[in-house]
Amino acid sequence: MVLRDNEQFIVTCPGNPNAENIQMDFTVFWAMPPDPVTILPAIKTLESMQEVFFVDFIVPRGSELNVFCLFTHRLLIRAYPAVRMTTQVPSKPLTRVVVSGSTHGNEMSGVFLARHWIKDPSELTRSTFSATAVIANPRAMEKCVRYTQQDLNRSFKMDYLVALDSEEEPYEVKRAKELNKIYGPKGSPEAYDFMFDMHNTTSNMGACIIVDSPQNSFAMHMANYIQTNYMQKCPIYVYKKGDEESYTIDSICKNGVAMEVGPQPQGVVRADCLAQMRALVRHGLDFIEKFNQGSAFPAFDIEAHTLISREDYPRNADGEMSGIIHPKLQDKDFLPLNPGDPIFQTLDGNEVVYEGDSTIYPAFINEAAYYEKKIAFAKMEKKVFSIPDIQLKLD
């Protein structure tokens, strides 16, 4: 069957009331691009499975839909990566570009820049395209909080985006769906070409570029271009582990990067951080302009940090933090941490040392927003990636 634009669609599968568990696979074959893409839409009401069992999801216009349902006795929910339409190099000029601020409402470089650029977008204009700015989480911005009910930048998984609308769903899920309608839909040919997502951190991470995957050659070239043209140190952080589903706001667009500038306290705007953010976005836009004009970008090797795991604080039997970041680790983001180096100081005066067996490069050290996520710092390793050359073929 061929589906209409963003149609909300109900698939009814013949249920087996006696089946304890259920496995359902859905494959969507898009008219464009030529290769079929597999996604797994949200699975709902597993507990209350009756004879009829409903799933809803958003599909791109012109999709051809094939549905396969399997019922088994083993619970098997396969976690497909939510497919960003492409991490391939674009085959056409990028014309629909968006710059997001206030994805976290108390990260003020992005809040100030996005508000300014909404009023005066001249800085976002190049000869081949004009980017637009958006306030991603207006309610959080008004209250100057990271989010109101749940972290918006963790709300772009397909199961949120395709869930049936309900009164009870958190504001950030509603907002994620709205943004997905405007700048997505995620994984569709209609999605915006690129998103810059502006963040601040309380950690001493400098001007950091966050890319989803080293296979994303276009974003890695942009990061390389920014590093080359930006006068300050500018580390690259590759955040995705394997095939985990993208949950960030830029994942609704065909491609994107996040920018993380710090240290800056929450709710505070510092001129140096704002200037760094502005420069990162400017160079990123310049890169898109040059790409659109057909410039050749040769292959290169580049160093980037990849996530190993996240480290929690020491805790007592009640789960309360019993230690804090050691002064020798504080502000040492992206610097080597060797086995035996101190990482925490307990309140009774002891040191906790890093017990790994190799040197790592921590980041997000003592990030204020991560206390609730039980993350004291992210453990990173440094790797060198070989990125192939890219060039847009102009007609």
CA distances from residue 360 to 31, 99, 109, 113, 220 in whole angstroms, order as listed? 45, 32, 29, 34, 22
Least distance in angstroms from the C-beta of 6 to Zn ion: 28
- Which is nearer to Zn ion, 67 or 307 (by Cβ)? 307
- Which is nearer to Zn ion, 157 or 221 (by Cβ)? 157
- Which is nearer to Zn ion, 39 or 152 (by Cβ)? 152
Give rounded-to-5 percent helix, strand, coil for the chain.
20, 25, 50
- Which is nearer to Zn ion, 152 or 236 (by Cβ)? 152
Least distance in angstroms from the C-beta of 198 to Zn ion: 8
Look at the chain and count its residues.
Answer: 395
Least distance in angstroms from the C-beta of 136 to Zn ion: 10
Least distance in angstroms from the C-beta of 336 to Zn ion: 26
Q: 198, 210 in Cβ contact below 8 A? A: no
Asked if residue 185 has a cis previous peptide bond (ω within 30° of 0), the answer is yes
Q: 305, 381 in Cβ contact below 8 A? A: yes
Angle at 98 between CA 128 and CA 30, to 5 degrees: 90
Least distance in angstroms from the C-beta of 277 to Zn ion: 12
- Which is nearer to Zn ion, 107 or 311 (by Cβ)? 107
Site for Zn ion, rule CB under 5 A = 104, 107, 199
State how far the Cα of 392 lies from the Cα of 131, in Å rounded to an integer.
Answer: 19
- Which is nearer to Zn ion, 86 or 153 (by Cβ)? 153
Task: Tell me the CB-side half-sphere exposure of residue 8, using CA atoms within 13 A.
Answer: 9
- Which is nearer to Zn ion, 128 or 150 (by Cβ)? 150
End-to-end Cα distance, the chain: 34
State how far the Cα of 318 lies from the Cα of 394, in Å rounded to an integer.
Answer: 62
- Which is nearer to Zn ion, 104 or 326 (by Cβ)? 104
Q: 17, 50 in Cβ contact below 8 A? A: yes
Least distance in angstroms from the C-beta of 159 to Zn ion: 22
CB atoms within 10 A of CB 218: 26
List the structure tokens of 208: 């950091």
Least distance in angstroms from the C-beta of 375 to Zn ion: 13
Task: Tell me the CB-side half-sphere exposure of residue 264, using CA atoms within 13 A.
Answer: 25
Question: Which residue matches tokens 């704002």?
Answer: 274
The bridge status of strand 300-311 relative to strand 377-387 is antiparallel
Least distance in angstroms from the C-beta of 14 to Zn ion: 45
Least distance in angstroms from the C-beta of 289 to Zn ion: 26
Question: Which residue matches tokens 């972290």?
Answer: 151
- Which is nearer to Zn ion, 63 or 248 (by Cβ)? 248
Least distance in angstroms from the C-beta of 68 to Zn ion: 39
- Which is nearer to Zn ion, 156 or 291 (by Cβ)? 156
Question: Which residue matches tokens 């760094």?
Answer: 276
Residue nearest to Zn ion (CB): 199
Closest CA to 195 of 141, 151, 156, 240: 156
Task: Tell me the CB-side half-sphere exposure of residue 283, using CA atoms within 13 A.
Answer: 23
Q: 216, 257 in Cβ contact below 8 A? A: no
